[in-house]
């Protein structure tokens, strides 16, 4: 047995967990947006682009973005700061070729007002696209598609002073939503799942006029796994991805 005289600092452990998750995502074509200052592009105090920590492309401002996106620090962690009824959203185009199976996860806080739209997926060609989104409004956390094919929700206090991990997994008819050890699921369908997928952060698309869906969320890390259902694992790879995500969030956010 080897006994080390000193314990590793927490920062070293966090670095290991971050690197492990980045490598895991890279092995399966996953995407990770991390709101670190070094990954942002834009003028001081404003964000006009969000580079991926894992994945092949960056997110750009959504067409309806009002230019008010900003990077803030909450409880010692960087986050994208959104404003109620003001579009500060971003989009990463074609993060997947279809939506037959996927996992969308994010970490957020809402210390001052309700978060509302957290993230969404535009599925299929733009003129006929369906929309899948995760939102937290009126004391309810929801994951659903706009077409009405599937939906799950759970009660959750509107104010979230600390950061919270939310995960939604869809696998060919089964939708699971999980946060804080609570899990709900439903069965249904997502029309247009065979089309390309765009990922929106903090909004539901490019269109203006959706102010009531925009809230006061502080969005930390955002993750997307094409063709992987981490909450209903089909193989050891899914289990490994989930373990890497859980370990990172536990060490980073406590």
Residue 9 has pLDDT above 60, yes or no: no
Question: Which element (helix H / strand E) includes 248?
Answer: helix 236-253
Residue range 68-88, pLDDT digits in tens = 788 889 999 999 999 999 998
Name the least confident of 47-56, 154-163, 181-190. Answer: 47-56
pTM of the model: 0.91
Residue 18 lies in a domain: no
Residue 1 lies in a domain: no
Contact between 181 and 161 (Cβ < 8 Å)? no
Model pLDDT, residue 8:
36
Give the number of domains in the chain.
Answer: 1
Residue 7 lies in a domain: no
* DSSP symbol at 3: -
Residue 143 lies in a domain: yes
Residue 62 lies in a domain: yes
Name the least confident of 14-18, 180-184, 247-251. Answer: 14-18
Model pLDDT, residue 53:
84
Find the domain containing 66 and state its range.
Answer: 25-193+200-253
Residue 13 lies in a domain: no
Model pLDDT, residue 170:
97
C-alpha count within 13 angstroms, C-beta hemisphere, residue 169: 19
Residue 93 has pLDDT above 90, yes or no: yes
Residue 66 lies in a domain: yes
């Amino acid at each position: 047995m080897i006994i080390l005289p000193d314990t590793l600092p927490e920062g070293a452990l966090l670095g290991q967990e971050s690197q492990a998750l980045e490598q895991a995502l890279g092995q399966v074509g996953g995407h990770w947006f991390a709101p670190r200052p070094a990954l942002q592009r834009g003028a001081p105090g404003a964000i006009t682009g969000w580079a991926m920590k894992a994945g092949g492309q960056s997110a750009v401002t959504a067409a309806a973005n009002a230019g008010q996106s900003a990077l803030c620090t909450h409880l010692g962690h960087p986050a994208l700061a959104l404003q109620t009824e003001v579009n500060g959203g971003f989009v990463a185009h074609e993060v997947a070729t279809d939506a037959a199976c996927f996992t969308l996860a994010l970490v957020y806080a809402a210390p001052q007002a309700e978060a509302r739209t957290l993230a969404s997926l535009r599925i299929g060609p733009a003129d006929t696209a369906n929309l899948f989104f995760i939102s937290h409004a009126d004391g309810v956390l929801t994951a659903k598609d706009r077409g009405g094919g599937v939906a799950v929700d759970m009660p959750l206090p509107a104010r979230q002073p600390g950061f919270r991990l939310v995960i939604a997994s869809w696998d060919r008819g089964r939708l699971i939503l999980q946060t804080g050890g609570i899990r709900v699921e439903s069965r249904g369908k997502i029309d247009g799942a065979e089309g390309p997928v765009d990922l929106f952060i903090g909004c539901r698309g490019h269109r203006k006029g959706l102010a009531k869906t925009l809230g006061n969320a502080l969005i930390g890390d955002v993750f997307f796994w094409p063709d992987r259902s981490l909450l209903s694992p089909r193989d050891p790879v899914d289990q490994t991805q989930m373990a890497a995500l859980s370990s990172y969030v536990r060490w980073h956010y406590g």
